[in-house]
Each structure stands twice: as structure tokens, then as C-alpha cells.
Structure 1
Amino acid sequence: MKLAARWRLSLVVAFVVALEVASRRAWIDPVSFIPPSKMAEGAWALLASGDYTNDILQTLANASLAVLLAVAGGFFFGVCLFKLPRLRRVVDPLLLSYYAVPIFVVYPVLIVIFGLNRWPLVAIGFLFGVVAMATNTLNGLERVPRVLMRSARAMRMSTIDEIRLITLPASLPFVFTGVKLAVVYAFIAVIAGEFVLAGSGFGFRIAYAYNNFDNPTMYGLMLLLLVFVGTLNMLLHMAEERLYSRTRRASA
């Protein structure tokens, strides 16, 4: 384990211990906050009971579908921006200000269009992640060395071979960064959407427990969500680091 990773782990452990001590000694209001150990007990009880399995699977399914659509759509859009400079000049100011506007303002419109079902959540997750994927795809394509592209033309490669053998491998680390951001953004959007207006799902269960002052359930669900998203983000980060290190070794 690297030194930076050890420091991060130490900070997390120290923060959890501080919360445990502060809550046990009632330095934090015990009515609104429970010790992390109680959160872990609540999370384990929720998993053992199986009462929330369908809600968890529903959220994972919606977020996964939003990620797939955002990655596919963002990659295609990024390639179009790279191949069509005029389109890029038109769209570029909109991309720069895209995340300055709260995407959730369109959530009621999505409910009117799709109805009270899973599709508004999938759509909001898609809208949250597609631009991050597109911009990182464009960034990766722009960083492909021009000498490689000239070599492909000199060897008369087909378009498919050029993409498969040169463009995609050279831009893969940056494209993967877009995938990582699309995953994170899509999960945030879907779960936040379940908080706002949904009848089931991970976010809905957390909001329901909060409204009913059910702290063990609320914090248990929050801990499960934190562990899952943190583990997923760590795995994506490790894969991203390997891609970047491989690219650096290849260019050295």
C-alpha cells in the first residue's frame, strides 16, 4: 500500500473513531446521531432481514442502466464533436456551462413525459453523466499523437482498424475517466431523484426512515450506500491508475 493510501486510510479511521467517541459521550445530540458502531449493526440487520433487497436491486438496476446509456451516448457525442469542428464550436459554450445549471430542475418535466415510473430516474442519471463522458472522450481523442494518425493513413488502415488499433488504445485512459465520472454522477442523480419523488428504492427508504425518526434504519442504509459507492469508486480509481501508468510506460 502506498504512503498516500495509508494516510487516507488513517484519516478515515481517525474520523470514525472521533465520531464514535463524540456520540458515546453525547457531545453530539444522541437523538439525531448514533455511533458508527450502531450504524454498522443497523446495516447488518438490514442485510440479514432481506426487507430492503428489492429496493437496493431496483436502485442498482436504474443506476446501471443510466450509466450504460450515459457512457454509450457520451462516447458517441464526444466522437461527433471531435469529427465535426463546426458542431463543437456551436456546442462548446453549452458544455462549459452545463453543470452550472441544476439538472434537477428538469425532473418534474421528465415525470410529465415518462410518468411515475423508473424512466425519469434513468433519464436524470443519463443527463447527469452523459456530458462528463462526452467531454472526457473529446479530451482523449485530442491527445492521440498526430504521428500515429499519419502512420495509420500511410498504412491505409480502414476506419475500424484505425479506431481499434490506434485511436481507442491511445485515448482509453481519458475515456475511462469519463466512464468513472459517469458512474459517480449517475448514482448520485438516481439516488437523489429517489429522495425527491419515488415510491421505492434506496433513496426513498432513507428519506422514509428520516421522516419517521428511524435512525438505525436511516444510518444503516446510508452506511451501506457509502460502503458500496466508496468501494466502486476505489476500484475504478485503481483501474484508471493502471491505465495511466501503462500509457506512461508506453510513451517513455
Structure 2
Amino acid sequence: MTVLEKTLPVPPKQRDTLVRRAAMVRWAILAALIVILEVTTRTGMISPALMVSPSEILARLVSIVPTERFGQDAARTLTTILIAFTIGLVLGIPLGVFLWRVPAAGRILEPFIVTGYAMPTLLFYPVLLAVMGLNAGPIILIAASMSLIPIALTTMVALKSIKPILHKLANSVSASPRQYYLKVLFPAATPLIFPGVKLGFIYAVIGTVAMEFILAAQGIGFRAGFYYRELNTADMWAYIAVVIVLSVLVNAVLTRLEKRIRRDML
């Protein structure tokens, strides 16, 4: 559910109309930006060394995507992102539960976690490279750590925000620990945990592509960095466009899933 849907006290039909209009405006803005870029790059207002036209980017994508090399790069990047995000999810939620369940640990560890959230973990890449070698390991570890922190923090905040009546209800029916977590806590906290999960995936993408850009032998980020160093602007932007499209698609899927979860919780 978007902020517009949550905050406007309007009937459902009118709210749906407002949401559709907002979507139309977003698409209009996107189309206008594409037209502006096309005109400014074609007329030379933007140097070809910095940016090429959207139509040229699309043409390069059509020729690049079917190639075996692109398939290998995409498979490497997607695999790294999914592994890093899975690690962040599997470790982040239990860590958030622990920080909520043990308030003393939460008060002690939260400043360190928040500091790690703000600190660029990319700085640790040289150390990890020396320890783990030139492979996907350092990239996965850094991307997973970037993904874990927002998931853990939002899980802790979500559990803290659960109404006391739900805890009393679980105690009144003598719910087992498993029922307490699976039937009461997580259903109530999921709508607030999910934004952290979305952030976790976004940070997994950022960490993976950024590390591949800096130093890697394969991947979409590596290929964009390679073409940047080769001054091949068209292919560089084609690979950047792949990252943008991937991020938009995943965000759309997660947003739709979040809306469905919130609707089921109402």
C-alpha cells in the first residue's frame, strides 16, 4: 500500500482513481525524460562522451542481450545478488528478533549496527580480497552485510511496535513459543518488516554491482566498468540500463507483494 493509499481518507473507488492518475503522471514524467534525453543527446547539448541517446542504448541492448557473454555476466550478478540477499534475510530477521527479545543487547549493539549502516563497507574490500582471494566471496560478504543491517533494524522496530494486547492475547490462549512467533508476532510485524526487506534487496544490488565495478572478472557491474575504462559510452549505458530495469522490476514485484500482505493483514 502506497503512502497515498494509507493517508487519504477517501472512498475505495476514489482512492483507486487517484492511484491510477498518479501512475499515469509517473509514466508521463518518465516519457518526458526519455524525450528530453533523446533530443539533447542527438543535438549535441550533451556530449556523446558522457551520454548517448536512449534509442542508441536500446539498439545496443538488442545486440548485447542475446550474446553468451551477457548471459554469463547476468547469471553471475543475479546469483551473487540472490545469495547475498538470502544471507541478509536469513541472518537479519533472527538478529532483529534477538535485539528485540533481549533489550539490553539491543541497547548495546544498536549503535554499532547503525554505524555499520552508515559506514561504507566497500572500504573492507581490500582486506577481504587478501583473505578470501579474487572471487565472488568478498563481493557476497559485503553485499550480504549491506543487506542484513536494514532487515535487522526494521525487524527490531516492527516487533517493538506490536500492540501489547496481542501479547496478552497469546498468553491468554496459552500459545506455544512456535505459535506465539508464527501466529501472532510475525503476522503483526510483517507489514513493517517488509520495507526493510525491500531495502535489504536494494542494498544487495548496490553492493554487488558496485563491487563488480571496482574489481571483478565477470558480471554486469564489471562489464559496465570495463566499457567505461574503454570509453565505450554506448555499451556502458546499455549495461547500466540493465541494472536500472532489474531494480525497477524487482521493486515493482516487492511492492505488489507488500500491498498484498498489507491487504491480507487488514
Q: TM-score, normalised by structure 2?
A: 0.89
- Is the contact made by 2:51 and 2:233 (CA closer than 8 Å) also made in structure 1? yes
Q: How does 1:1-252 map to 2 (within 5 A)?
A: 2-247=20-265, 250=266
Q: Deviations over 1:136-156 (max 9, x none)?
A: 111111122211111111111
Measured after TM superposition, the shift of residue 238 of structure 1 is 2.2
Q: Distance in 2 between matches of 1:57 and 1:119?
A: 16
Residues 196, 31 of structure 1: alpha-carbon distance in 2 compared, 3 angstrom cutoff: closer
Measured after TM superposition, the shift of residue 245 of structure 1 is 4.0
Q: Could you say which residue in structure 1 is the equivalent of 2:15?
A: none
CA RMSD of aligned residues (A): 1.4
**How many aligned residue pairs are there?**
248
Bigger mean CA deviation after superposition, 167-176 or 64-73:
167-176
Q: Deviations over 1:94-140 (max 9, x none)?
A: 23333322111111111122111111000010111111000111111
- Is the contact made by 2:48 and 2:233 (CA closer than 8 Å) also made in structure 1? no
- Is the contact made by 1:55 and 1:202 (CA closer than 8 Å) also made in structure 2? yes
Measured after TM superposition, the shift of residue 24 of structure 1 is 1.0
Bigger mean CA deviation after superposition, 207-216 or 62-71:
207-216
- Is the contact made by 2:51 and 2:234 (CA closer than 8 Å) also made in structure 1? no
Measured after TM superposition, the shift of residue 237 of structure 1 is 1.8
Bigger mean CA deviation after superposition, 237-246 or 42-51:
237-246
Q: Distance in 1 between matches of 2:146 and 2:230?
A: 30
Bigger mean CA deviation after superposition, 66-75 or 3-12:
3-12
2:92 alignment partner, SS class: helix
Structure 1 residue runs of 4 or more that deviate by more than 6 Å after TM superposition: none
Q: Could you say which residue in structure 1 is the equivalent of 2:14?
A: none
Q: Deviations over 1:68-94 (max 9, x none)?
A: 000111001000001101101101222
Q: Distance in 2 between matches of 1:100 and 1:51?
A: 35
- Is the contact made by 1:63 and 1:122 (CA closer than 8 Å) also made in structure 2? yes
Q: Distance in 2 between matches of 1:181 and 1:33?
A: 29
Amino acid in the other structure paired with 1:142: K
Q: Distance in 1 between matches of 2:160 and 2:217?
A: 44
In structure 2, stretches of 5+ residues that fail to align are: 1-18
Bigger mean CA deviation after superposition, 65-74 or 135-144:
135-144
Q: Distance in 2 between matches of 1:155 and 1:71?
A: 31
Amino acid in the other structure paired with 2:145: L
2:65 alignment partner, SS class: helix
Q: TM-score, normalised by structure 1?
A: 0.94
Amino acid in the other structure paired with 1:211: R
Q: Could you say which residue in structure 1 is the equivalent of 2:9?
A: none
Q: Distance in 1 between matches of 2:251 and 2:134?
A: 30
Give identity over the alignment, percent.
28
In structure 1, stretches of 5+ residues that fail to align are: none
Q: Distance in 1 between matches of 2:86 and 2:230?
A: 35
- Is the contact made by 1:42 and 1:219 (CA closer than 8 Å) also made in structure 2? no
